[in-house]
Amino acid sequence: MLDHRRCLVETRQLQLHFVNDQIAKLPPEIRDRLSTNTRIEVRLRELEAITPPSQTTDAGDYRFGWLVELAESDRVALAKIRRLERDLDALLDEHGTTLRDEVGIATVGAATLLCEVGNPFRFATESKFARWSGTGAIAVSSGEGDGEPIRHRLDWGGNRTINAVLYRMSVTQQRCHEPATTYINRKRSEGKTRREARRAHKRLLANRVIRRMWRDEQQRQPNHKTEELPAAA
């Protein structure tokens, strides 16, 4: 279901990019009646309310009619995406996950985490999950020695899908969650670059996510031995 939604979203995005190019090729008497500072899908919907002038060329008439048809197909695709998201919400409720309680994680992010991580107990520690998700601290150069990295760089060896979820979570929290804003500002005041502060925050969020997944799984498996839980859970 998650892959089905991803396929629909990517196909719709590709179609909208193509629509934007086609709108630019419409006759001026039609194109000038559309909004200029709105999203592509809004402009596409506006075409349905326009009656093409009689003096347009055959090519212009064809392109206009084609775009009006695409407006309806886009509406159908959007409805399918929304329906899949509602179905995913229901599955997450059935699963019992609390990931959506975290600021910055919605339906798709929670479903992605569950699908990619699987059994969270396969990660014995937070640091192992961080390394797997590409949020572990990686030294900029070997010249820093074997100690804790002072300046971090991007870890291309991690799971990029989960890394992207944590990145979006971090961006959302910085915008509307005061603790995250305070944390990132503190890192910047310590001399971290914007990217380094973001990576440090993603590492913090990775800890929160795996701890929550450990707790959720413990609730789902009441017979799971407590001593098997990671100590930081």
pLDDT at 223 over 50: yes
- Rounded to the nearest 5°, which phi and psi values hold at 139? -60, 145
The overall average pLDDT reported for the chain is 86
What is the distance between the terminal CA atoms of the chain, rounded to a whole angstrom? 30
pLDDT at 57 over 80: no
The pLDDT of residue 208: 96
The pLDDT of residue 150: 56
Q: Are 116 and 160 in contact (CB under 8 A)?
A: no
Q: Which of 32, 29, 30, 13 is nearest to 66 (CA)?
A: 30
Percentage with pLDDT > 90 across the chain: 59
Q: Is the pTM of this model over 0.85?
A: no
Q: Are 173 and 209 in contact (CB under 8 A)?
A: no
The pLDDT of residue 226: 46
Distance CA 82, CA 76 (A): 10
What is the arithmetic mean of pLDDT over 200-209?
95
